[in-house]
Amino acid sequence: MRRRHLLLAMAGMALAMGGAERPTGLQALAAKRGLVWGSALSHTALADAGLAALLLENVGTITPENALKWEATEPEPDRFDFRPVDRILAFAQQNGLSVRGHTLVWHHQLPPWLEELPAKELEKAMERHVRTVAALGRGLIRSWDVVNEPIAEHGAGLRRSLWLVRLGPAFISHALCWARLAAPGAQLIINEYGLEGDDPITARKRSTLLALIDRLRRDQIPLDGIGLQAHLLAPGSGSPQFTTLASFLQELHWRGLKVQITELDVSDRELPADIAVRDARVAETYDRFLEVVLREPCVEQITTWGLSDRDSWLNSTFPRSDGLPQRPLPYDEHLRAKPLRSIIAARLIQTTPPMEPIPSRRHGSVLPIGHHQG
Ligand code: G3I
């Protein structure tokens, strides 16, 4: 209860500091602490003037939610279709936004023709795809989710995806090297979900990812950062903790990696129908999560998976059992700011900025993988 009062007081303070009518945009607040704030962009966003205006008010970077995925960009072998993504890149360019490239190698949203290829052909198709798509939007696409969700669901080892089964674990190194060749100026990211919590599966997933990173480091494979998707769940009971997250982020930092929060949202599917209760618990989860990540110097950008509840993927993929729409994002379905938006702003203003990067304790100098000293 005391925490809820504190959250509301912080929200009020953020509004006051942001001015009378229109609060300062999230990107402006993030920029003051050297961070970039972003949002995913659904296919309908550009046709929706209200949503486009909200994006411009709040973000410095956008992530095409689906337009860069394989089924969209290469629907038939070697026939690329960049029309949808070109519209997004033009919007970004006109408005001075950067773009996160999502995603080059994933096991979902693949065109059917790809899944039928024998191993040798599959590898060739992956090389062609990565080298062609990663070359898009030079200067605008500043980071690429080169490999998405490579860790097994329950954390033990790599995911038995089409890529792993047919090409073996080297598919990750190959994708990263081809992406570096095609986009030498872009940050190369491995993007993963389920890395934020305090449960045993999360702990296992983290160890598997760290072992993968260490293998890539040993082999001098280019990798600049890790994306934490951060699809969070507001707990049905108790408070969200994230007590083990800071030390995991420090493990990444010691390995010379940047961290991007790439798909943040908070599901309310385990909470009762009451909107006030749901909004408060979702806001509490955001608040606690941001409090932890904003203190870590390796975290350089935070993207929510959309801005408005109207566009959230959660309603189709994880619907509530009572059929009510979920409320996982800072703006409601009518594009009105929710109290959550002020709580995010307050956290950006109030959390003590991170200290200067901590010197590595265990891994020598803090350098991205694949970058040589001297
Ligand atoms: O393209 C078809 C369209 O032709 C058809 O009319 C329409 C009817 O439903 O479906 C369209 O495809 C949908 C697609 O989004 C584009 O809107 C798919 O059914 C739907 O499953 C797909 O969902 C996307 C999901 O990835 C697929 O796994 C979500 O929009 C997207 O938000 C979600 O994003 C992922 C990230 O890429 C990776 N991390 C998890 C995150 C959430 O699942």
C-alpha of residue 66 to centroid of ligand 1, in Å = 6
Instruction: Determine the Cα–Cα distance for residues 238 and 242; give it in Å rounded to an integer.
Output: 12
What pLDDT score does 1 carry?
43
263 lines ligand 1 (CB under 6 A): yes
Closest C-alpha to ligand 1, atom 34: 65
pLDDT digits (tens, 9 = 90+) for 269-293: 999 999 999 999 999 999 999 999 9
What pLDDT score does 374 carry?
29
The pTM of this model reads: 0.92
Assess whether pLDDT exceeds 80 at residue 23: no
Identity of the amino acid at 220: Q
User: In whole angstroms, how far apart are CA 132 and each of 45, 158, 164, 170, 280?
Assistant: 26, 26, 22, 20, 45
Which atom of ligand 1 lies nearest, measured to the CA of 148?
A: 38
Mean pLDDT of 245-261: 98
pLDDT digits (tens, 9 = 90+) for 328-374: 999 999 999 999 999 999 999 999 878 765 555 554 444 555 543 32
Q: Which of the following is catalytic: 65, 74, 123, 149?
A: 149
∠ Cα 74 184 300 (to 5°): 95
Q: Which of the following is catalytic: 65, 192, 196, 263?
A: 263
65 lines ligand 1 (CB under 6 A): yes
74 counts as catalytic: no
- Let me know: does 98 contact 147? Beta carbons within 8 Å: no
66 lines ligand 1 (CB under 6 A): yes
What pLDDT score does 354 carry?
82
* pLDDT band with cut points at 50, 70 and 90 for residue 3: low
108 lines ligand 1 (CB under 6 A): yes
121 counts as catalytic: no
**DSSP assignment letter at 33:** T
C-alpha of residue 110 to centroid of ligand 1, in Å = 11
229 lines ligand 1 (CB under 6 A): yes
Closest C-alpha to ligand 1, atom 38: 148
- Let me know: does 92 contact 68? Beta carbons within 8 Å: no
Q: Which pair of tokens denotes residue 181?
A: 């060749």
Quick one: which H or E segment has residue 103? strand 98-105
* pLDDT band with cut points at 50, 70 and 90 for residue 8: very low
SS3 10: helix
What is the residue-wise DSSP string for 217-278?
Answer: HHTT--B-EEEE--EEE--SSS----TTHHHHHHHHHHTT-EEEEEEEEEE-TTS-S-HHHH
Assess whether pLDDT exceeds 90 at residue 175: yes
What pLDDT score does 13 carry?
47
Instruction: Determine the Cα–Cα distance for residues 43 and 65; give it in Å rounded to an integer.
Output: 7
Identity of the amino acid at 157: G
Which atom of ligand 1 lies nearest, measured to the CA of 229?
A: 39
What pLDDT score does 342 carry?
97
- Top mutation candidate among 73, 151, 305, 313 for ligand 1, by most atoms within 8 Å of CB: 313
Helices (H), the chain: 2-18, 26-32, 49-58, 70-73, 83-94, 112-115, 119-133, 162-167, 170-182, 200-218, 245-254, 275-293, 314-317, 339-350
Helices (H), 74-111: 83-94
C-alpha of residue 39 to centroid of ligand 1, in Å = 16
Instruction: Determine the Cα–Cα distance for residues 100 and 187; give it in Å rounded to an integer.
Output: 9
What pLDDT score does 12 carry?
46
* pLDDT band with cut points at 50, 70 and 90 for residue 138: confident
